[in-house]
Structure 1
Amino acid sequence: MTATPTQQPHPVLADDAAVRLARAAAQEEAGADAVGDHVGVVAEDRTAVTHLFEARHSGYRGWNWAATVAFAGEGTPLSVSEVVLLPGDDALVAPDWVPWHERVRAGDLGVGDLLPTREDDPRLAPGYVGSDDPAVEEVALEVGLGRVRVLSREGVLDAAQRWHTGDFGPRSDMARSAPATCGTCGFYQRIAGSLGAAFGVCANELTPADGHVVHVEYGCGAHSEVEVEGGSVVPVADLVYDDAVLDVEANAPVAAPRGETPAAAGTAADETGR
């Protein structure tokens, strides 16, 4: 039983009669076969406790039937206040409810989908108020040409943080192994507005960043000024010259067999000596 010293319930609330009363109330609510063993007692205050019984429902592992029993004082019978099904410490429960406008994540928007922004979206500010971006404010001052809403300071900082820590930021694996940064690359196209101080768009079709926003300190191996030394990239072994002298010895003359002329014998000797 869980209770503080000032909330110790009356002993009658935890005796066998109280457990039987609580079980009967739970069985009336859930059915006799759905109420299992008595697994605990929780003190609500001095006049009430909640008895917990194992729930034997398929798919409700770790849940308990909770029957709250109350006692009004000496001379009054025990009574049941309520019976509910509650999850235990290891129960399988649904995740916390998330408002619909907070459920959408990057990449969820598909072809034909519509995703309206919230009226109070902190990333946007009314165009006539300005966005702390001189390039935007210059346009917004022209009556009729300004946008209804533009990026707020929070929206700008949020985008900058997301791009800085993304795949095309200065801390990515590609950037750390690059020979130079995008800020010195001919394919780097700076974007307008305050974000242009640190971000641009890659225009090199041979890189994974083509068409993406990249940080000025991002980089890859396709930098416009990368130079590779000419010649074979495979090391060639040093040539070794052998200046040894080759001694040549003439073959000894061969005696002519009987019946052959010396010229024929010489010819046979030449053939055998080759």
Structure 2
Amino acid sequence: MTSKPPAKDPAAKPRAGVPVWRTGKPDAFLAAAVDVARDAVATIAKDSEIGPHIAAKSEGERVVTHLFESRLPGYGGWQWYAVVTRNSRSKTVTVSELGLLPSEDSILAPEWIPWAKRVRPEDEAPAPESDPESDAETDGAEASDGSAAEGPDEESGADEAPAGETPSDEAPSDETGAE
């Protein structure tokens, strides 16, 4: 009898930002290039923000990722990474990628929820209608202090031209130049 390997749980999601590491032994020459990787990370971070070397992991044939502890404020548990590679039979190390990755201990933002799913039933309820009596009371209070209504004098001046303008300024001009 042959036994089948256990099926992978489809509900198990990979964590955001964490690459799937390929198994295999890293290239010995690239794994030893810790100083090259650290110098590369130092081009995007201060030396005080780069902690000790954590690991060298194989990404494929002649491709290795070096991980360094992050001491960047606000990024506890994160790791600096530098991906290094080389051509076959070459002893020249090339840095191909740099950055900051979360680890299992990192604090990450919660998973994004679409707006339609964030709306609660009470958010969809119609707004309460205002009471007509309370509207009348507030209108009366505004009119009694004199600041809300000035009286008919304000309305009579509506037909007058604003200060500094004459009625001739408002007349349409003939742009053709013909008289």
Q: Larger relative CO (CA 8 A, sep 6+): 1 or 2?
A: 2
- Which residue number corresponds to residue 69 of structure 1? 84
Residue 85 (str. 1) matches residue 100 (str. 2):
yes
Alignment partners' CA distance in 1, 2:125 and 2:81: 45
Residue 12 (str. 1) matches residue 29 (str. 2):
yes
TM-score (normalised: structure 1): 0.36
The residue type paired with residue 22 of structure 1 is A
1:52–1:39 CA distance, 2 compared to 1 (3 A): same
CA RMSD of aligned residues (A): 2.2
SS at match of 2:88: coil
The residue type paired with residue 72 of structure 1 is N
1:58–1:109 CA distance, 2 compared to 1 (3 A): farther
Q: Check conservation: 1:8, 1:46, Cα contact below 8 A.
A: no
Runs of 4+ that moved beyond 2 A: 105-112
SS at match of 2:43: helix
Cα deviation for residue 110 of structure 1 reads 6.6
Residue 32 (str. 1) matches residue 60 (str. 2):
no
Q: Check conservation: 2:27, 2:64, Cα contact below 8 A.
A: no
Alignment partners' CA distance in 2, 1:105 and 1:64: 38
- Which residue number corresponds to residue 241 of structure 1? none
Cα deviation for residue 49 of structure 1 reads 1.1
SS at match of 2:42: helix
Cα deviation for residue 109 of structure 1 reads 4.2
- Which residue number corresponds to residue 207 of structure 1? none
Alignment partners' CA distance in 1, 2:55 and 2:125: 50
Cα deviation for residue 10 of structure 1 reads 1.7
SS at match of 1:30: coil
Cα deviation for residue 74 of structure 1 reads 1.4
Describe the superposition over 1:236-257 as per-residue Cα deviations: whole angstroms up to 9, x where unpaired. Answer: xxxxxxxxxxxxxxxxxxxxxx
- Which residue number corresponds to residue 115 of structure 2? 100
1:67–1:109 CA distance, 2 compared to 1 (3 A): same
Q: Check conservation: 1:71, 1:77, Cα contact below 8 A.
A: yes
Describe the superposition over 1:151-190 as per-residue Cα deviations: whole angstroms up to 9, x where unpaired. Answer: xxxxxxxxxxxxxxxxxxxxxxxxxxxxxxxxxxxxxxxx
Cα deviation for residue 47 of structure 1 reads 1.3
Alignment partners' CA distance in 2, 1:8 and 1:32: 29
- Number of residue pairs aligned between Structure 1 and Structure 2: 108
Alignment partners' CA distance in 2, 1:110 and 1:36: 53
SS at match of 1:28: coil
Cα deviation for residue 43 of structure 1 reads 1.3
Describe the superposition over 1:114-144 as per-residue Cα deviations: whole angstroms up to 9, x where unpaired. Answer: xxxxxxxxxxxxxxxxxxxxxxxxxxxxxxx
Describe the superposition over 1:200-242 as per-residue Cα deviations: whole angstroms up to 9, x where unpaired. Answer: xxxxxxxxxxxxxxxxxxxxxxxxxxxxxxxxxxxxxxxxxxx
1:36–1:104 CA distance, 2 compared to 1 (3 A): same
Describe the superposition over 1:53-87 as per-residue Cα deviations: whole angstroms up to 9, x where unpaired. Answer: 11111111100011111121213401101101100
- Which residue number corresponds to residue 174 of structure 2? none
1:110–1:45 CA distance, 2 compared to 1 (3 A): same
Alignment partners' CA distance in 2, 1:43 and 1:108: 50
Q: Report percent identity of matched pairs.
A: 40
Q: Check conservation: 1:35, 1:53, Cα contact below 8 A.
A: yes
1:42–1:111 CA distance, 2 compared to 1 (3 A): farther
- Which residue number corresponds to residue 55 of structure 1? 70
Structure 1: unaligned runs, 5 residues or longer: 113-274
Larger radius of gyration: 1
